[in-house]
Amino acid sequence: MTRSKILLLIPHLGGGGAEKVFALLARSLSREKYDLHLGLVTQASAPANSFPPGVTVHALGATRVRSSAIRLTALVWRLRPRVILSGMFHLNLLVLLLRPFFPRPVKILVRQNGTVSSALAFGDLPGYFGLLYRLLYRHADMVICQSAAMAKDLSHELRVDQDRLAVLPNPIDVDAVRDAVQQIDQGSSWWSGAGPHLIAVGRLSREKGFDLLLEALHSVRECFPAADLTITGEGREEARLKAQCHELGLESAVRFAGLIDQPARLFRGASAFVLSSRQEGMPNALLEAAAGGLPLVALPASGGITDLLGSQPGAWLATEISADALAASLSQALASLRPGERFAHSFIEPFRIDKAIDAYEEVIDRAF
């Protein structure tokens, strides 16, 4: 059987949700059906043996996504893939902009990693990005969304036809998360004190709302004075967030753990996972916390999150995106939880890697 050549494109490998999704796709898509290629646009090399045999990695080494046009076009002409699947919105825009210069009949699928209306309103994007979105996304063969709410928003904002939208679950390696939770070497020793112990995961940037979380923690400690917080991730807001901790008197209660490859290793001693984002798509960090059985406290950062967590046992969804609403939900959760309590979170099942990969393969095959 002749294998179809597929080119997966991301800026680089890293700890972000989109990068994890594409790394899982590269490792898990059928190598019997597809000749798999992974393009790393802004990475000069890939770690040895980071992907199984049958996956060819192309590290383009561009300084920025927007300066990679020539290298990216050359790669597409050299490979002549049947399908390009791109992740991250700025790379999606570049790929669609370059489409007239690619060999035909390549099909282009783009994965949207955030709610478009929120990204345009609150994402600190230049004003012309809205125009680029509207002009270019209509030329994708398929736009992959992470929830029905995201697809509805995208269709409304960008006027993309419904028949070119696909709602696919993020692939989550549920078993690997649960195995990591059982690694007691770090998970049990990380936490100290009476707690409750809160964990949050994400890039240290404004849209992740860690400033709201710090304000909420300050309020929560009035009733739970031993409450502490670990934030895993890195980003440009770290210095400002640490200064905020100082202003709120939270230096001893908040630990910035940096980038941790498997945050699930810290779940074992955690009391609850907190999603404080102002805007999100369907964050892998939340899904991994659900796979690990943690109680979940979240802001309604997207319609998809609201649909997923609404009325679910073990999940507390704030009424609005604010520090006060987050503090209220945290206090309610902590008051009702027993020490070490865990939940099955059956809603995670469609995100299991085997089911999610089958869904991706169905959409890829439909594009041929």
Q: Which domains does the chain have, with CATH numbers?
A: 4-170+352-367 (3.40.50.2000), 174-350 (3.40.50.2000)
Alpha carbon distance 138, 152 (integer Å) = 15
Which CA distances in Å does 105 have to 77, 100, 102, 114, 138? Answer: 12, 11, 9, 28, 17
Q: What pLDDT does 118 receive? A: 77
H-helix or E-strand spanning residue 198 = strand 197-201
Torsion sign across C-alpha atoms 242, 261, 207, 132? positive
> What DSSP letter does each residue of 20-72 carry, written as one string?
HHHHHHHHHS-TTTEEEEEEETT-S---TTSS-TTEEEEE---SSGGG-HHHH
The segments of the chain whose pLDDT lies below 70 read 1, 15, 122-127, 184-188
For the stretch 308-335, pLDDT in tens is: 999 899 999 999 999 999 999 999 999 9
Angle subtended by helix axes 148-158 and 128-136, to nearest 10: 100
Q: What pLDDT does 127 receive? A: 67
Q: What pLDDT does 30 receive? A: 96
Q: What pLDDT does 50 receive? A: 83
Alpha carbon distance 59, 41 (integer Å) = 6
Q: What pLDDT does 217 receive? A: 98
Alpha carbon distance 232, 240 (integer Å) = 16
Please say whether the beta carbons of 172 and 287 come within 8 A.
yes
Closest CA to 292 of 227, 233, 351: 351
